[in-house]
Structure 1
C-alpha cells in the first residue's frame, strides 16, 4: 500500500481480492482522533506488525492494532492479535465516508467468535506493550544495530560486486524493519543474511570441490554436443535440449545428476538409427510438454528475480529442473534408454520407463512446490501439471505397446 493511513483504492482492491479468493490478508488499524481520520492498511505480503509500524507514523493516529482479515459476502471480519476498542465504530464511519458503505466491519476473536467491542477495556494491550521496560527494549535494539553494522562490513568484504550489491539490499531491509518498530522481523531477516554470509565465507576459505570432475564432465559434454550438431534437426532437437540441462547441472554443481545424464546421452547417440521409427517419439512428446511448462516458469523466474532477494534469485535460477528435483533426471534417462533400445531390451526399457512415469505422475500430484508454482502469489499463469501430465499419459501408452 501507499504511505497513506487510508488509501481507498488500495483498501477496496484488497477487500475484493480477499472476498474472491477466500484468503486471509494482513492488516493494521489505527484509531483516529476522529472516525474520519482512522487508518486501515492491508497488504498481500507485509506482516501486520510492519503495517502497524507504518501507521504509527501517520498524523492523527492515536492507537493501533494489527492482525488478519477475511471477507465473506460483504462482511469484513477483522481478527486483531490484540483487539482495540473503537475499530468497528470508526471503520463503519470511514467506510461510509469513502463510499465503501456496502462493506460491514466485524470484530472477531482468536476462535472466530464475534466480539462486541463495547465490552473491551478502554486501554488496549498496545498501551501495556509500550509500557514495557524501555531499558530492555533499547538494549535489544542496540544489539540489532551492532549486528546490522557487522553484516554491512562483511558484505563490503565480499569479492563479488554483484553479490555484494544484492546482500547490501538485505542489510538495508533489516535496518528498515528495525526502524519501523519490528525487531522480530529484523532479527529473522538478519539471521538469514548472517547464515548466507557464513556459508559464503566458508566456501571462499576452501578450494572448489569437484573441480577436476567438473572439468572432465564438461569435456565429455563438449564432445557430445559436437556429435549432436551433426545429426538431422528432428533427431538433434531433444538431444540438444538435454545437453543444455546437463550444462546447467554442471554450473550448479549437481555433478551426480550431470554424470548420469551424460551417460544416458551417450547411449542415445551410440544407438543405431532405426529404419522404422515409431510414429510417436517419447522424447519429442516430453520435450514439447516441457517447453510449454517452461514458458510459464520463465515468467515466474523473472518475477522472482525482480524482488532482488538472494534466496528468491537462487530459486529462479533453478527453474523447472529445480522444482522437479531428481524426478526430471531419472525420467530423462529412462526416455533416452527407451529410444535407444531395440528388441527384448526395448521391452525392458519400456517397463523401466513406466516406473519413472508413475513416480513422476505421483510427484506432480503431491509435491507442494508444484502447487506453489501454479498458485503463485504473483498471479502468473504457470501450468505444470496439465502439460506434463498429458505427456506422461501419452508416453505411458507408447511404453505399454512396446
Structure 2
C-alpha cells in the first residue's frame, strides 16, 4: 500500500514528467520527526495549497509547506511559498531510501537563487496551522458553513447520483478543513467546487440516443446477422467482423456510425457472389464517429473554459484534435488519399491507411489524456475510445478488401 504522504511510484513518475516537460508542478512537503517519514505530494492539477491540506492528514507529518517545483538535469528545484527548514535534508534521505538517489533536492527563492536551509529559522516560516489550528474567526467560519451547505444543496439538485458521488468528497474535505481551522484551504476548495457546479448547471444537457432509432438499427442488424450465417465461411468471416463492430457502436450509443456501418454491410450482402461489392466510404464512417465524439468533447470544453487544468487545458480550445494530437491529421491525410486513388494506387493507399489505423488504435489504448477526458472531474459524458475504436475497425475491414 503506498505511503499516504509519499507515494514513491507517483512521485518518481511526476518528477520524470517535470524533467521531460520543463514545466513547474505544484507540490506540498511534510516535515516529519524522522526523515524516512517525511512526505512529498506532486500533482498535475491540484494547487499546492490543496495538496498541503492532504499532506496534513498524514499522522507522521509535523509541519508542512507548499509551492512549485521544476526538475533541471537531476536537480529538483523546490520553490515553496514559505520555505521550511529541513525540506532538503529530509528529502535527500527519503530519496535515498526510495531508490531515487539520482534526484537532488535544492531549495530556491522567488528570484530563483539557491537558499541555504540552515539560514532559515528553526521553526520554519509556518504559522499556527503547522501545529494546533489558529483560533477560529466566527464570522469567517459562519460564511464558510453557509457556502458548504449551499454547495451540498446544489450537488443534490443536479439529480445525478454518479456525479454527486464524485463531488461529495469535495464537500467532506471542505467540512474537514473548516473543522481544522484552515479557512483559506476551505475557501480554496469551495471556490473550485462552486466553479465546477456553475459550469455543470449552465451547460446544455446532452441529448440521449434515440431509443426508437436504436431499436430499428438493432433489428436490422439481427436480420443481416441471420443472412451472414447462411453464407460460406470464407465469405461470412469478414462480414461477421463488420457486424460485430456495428453491434459495438450500437451498444455505445454511436448511432450514426452504426447506421453507416449497416449501409455498407447491406450493400455487401446484396451484391451477388462474384460481383464487385460497391466499396463503402471509410471517410463517412470516420466522420460519423467523430461527430459523436465531438458532441461529448464540446460539453467538456464548456466545463473547462474557466478552469485551470494543465493536462486538460489543450482540449478547451482545440476540441478533438487537441485530444488526439497528430493522429487526427495523419489519419485524415490517409483517408483523403485512399478516397481519391484507384487501381494499384488505391491498394497502396489502403496499406497506408491501415498503418494509420493501427497507430490510432494504439494511441486510443495507451494515451492517459483520453482516459482523463472520459473520466473527467466534471461528470461530463465524453466517450472517445469506444466510438472511435469501432469506426477504425470497420475502416480497417474496408481497407483490407481494397
Q: TM-score, normalised by structure 2?
A: 0.55
Quickly say closer, same or farther: Cα 1:37–1:259, change in 2 above 3 A: closer
From 143, 146, 153, the equivalent of 1:142 is: 146
From 153, 156, 169, the equivalent of 1:152 is: 156
| Kept in 1: contact 2:25–2:43 (CA 8 A) | yes
Give the RMSD, CA atoms, in angstroms.
5.7
| Kept in 2: contact 1:38–1:61 (CA 8 A) | no
Quickly say closer, same or farther: Cα 1:110–1:252, change in 2 above 3 A: farther
Partner residue, 1:174: 170
Partner residue, 1:246: 246
Q: SS where residue 368 of structure 2 aligns?
A: coil
Quickly say closer, same or farther: Cα 1:353–1:141, change in 2 above 3 A: farther
Q: SS where residue 86 of structure 1 aligns?
A: coil
CA drift of 1:65 comes to 1.9
Partner residue, 1:219: 219
| Kept in 1: contact 2:66–2:80 (CA 8 A) | yes
Q: SS where residue 83 of structure 2 aligns?
A: coil
* Structure 1 Cα separation of the partners of residues 172 and 100 of structure 2: 36
Partner residue, 2:29: 29
1:67 aligns with 2:68: yes
| Kept in 1: contact 2:217–2:259 (CA 8 A) | yes
CA drift of 1:276 comes to 11
Structure-to-structure mapping, 1:284-303, within 5 angstroms: none
| Kept in 1: contact 2:334–2:352 (CA 8 A) | no
Quickly say closer, same or farther: Cα 1:62–1:275, change in 2 above 3 A: closer
| Kept in 2: contact 1:107–1:114 (CA 8 A) | yes
Partner residue, 1:307: none
| Kept in 2: contact 1:27–1:40 (CA 8 A) | no
CA drift of 1:189 comes to 5.1
* Structure 2 Cα separation of the partners of residues 115 and 198 of structure 1: 47
CA drift of 1:96 comes to 9.1
| Kept in 2: contact 1:18–1:70 (CA 8 A) | no
Q: Identify unmatched segments of 5+ residues in structure 1.
A: 159-163, 278-282, 284-321, 339-345
Partner residue, 1:290: none
| Kept in 1: contact 2:38–2:91 (CA 8 A) | no
* Structure 1 Cα separation of the partners of residues 14 and 78 of structure 2: 14
| Kept in 2: contact 1:55–1:61 (CA 8 A) | no
CA drift of 1:18 comes to 5.1
* Structure 1 Cα separation of the partners of residues 164 and 68 of structure 2: 30
* Structure 1 Cα separation of the partners of residues 259 and 366 of structure 2: 31
* Structure 1 Cα separation of the partners of residues 237 and 190 of structure 2: 49
Quickly say closer, same or farther: Cα 1:227–1:39, change in 2 above 3 A: same
CA drift of 1:68 comes to 3.7
CA drift of 1:264 comes to 1.0
Task: After superposition, give the CA deviation of every residue in 1:56-110 in whole Å (9 maximum; x if it has no partner).
Answer: 244662342243454844x4x1434514141445426754995879453212457
Q: TM-score, normalised by structure 1?
A: 0.55
More relative contact order, 1 or 2 (CA 8 Å, 6+ apart): 2
| Kept in 2: contact 1:151–1:171 (CA 8 A) | yes
Task: After superposition, give the CA deviation of every residue in 1:1-51 in whole Å (9 maximum; x if it has no partner).
Answer: 85655x5xx44x45554566645765321245x674873223567734333
Task: After superposition, give the CA deviation of every residue in 1:232-252 in whole Å (9 maximum; x if it has no partner).
Answer: 333323322322332333344
Q: Identify unmatched segments of 5+ residues in structure 2.
A: 178-184, 283-322, 372-384
1:376 aligns with 2:368: yes
Partner residue, 2:81: 82
* Structure 2 Cα separation of the partners of residues 111 and 353 of structure 1: 60
| Kept in 2: contact 1:65–1:83 (CA 8 A) | yes
| Kept in 2: contact 1:65–1:81 (CA 8 A) | yes
Partner residue, 1:39: 38
* Structure 2 Cα separation of the partners of residues 359 and 190 of structure 1: 46
Partner residue, 2:382: none
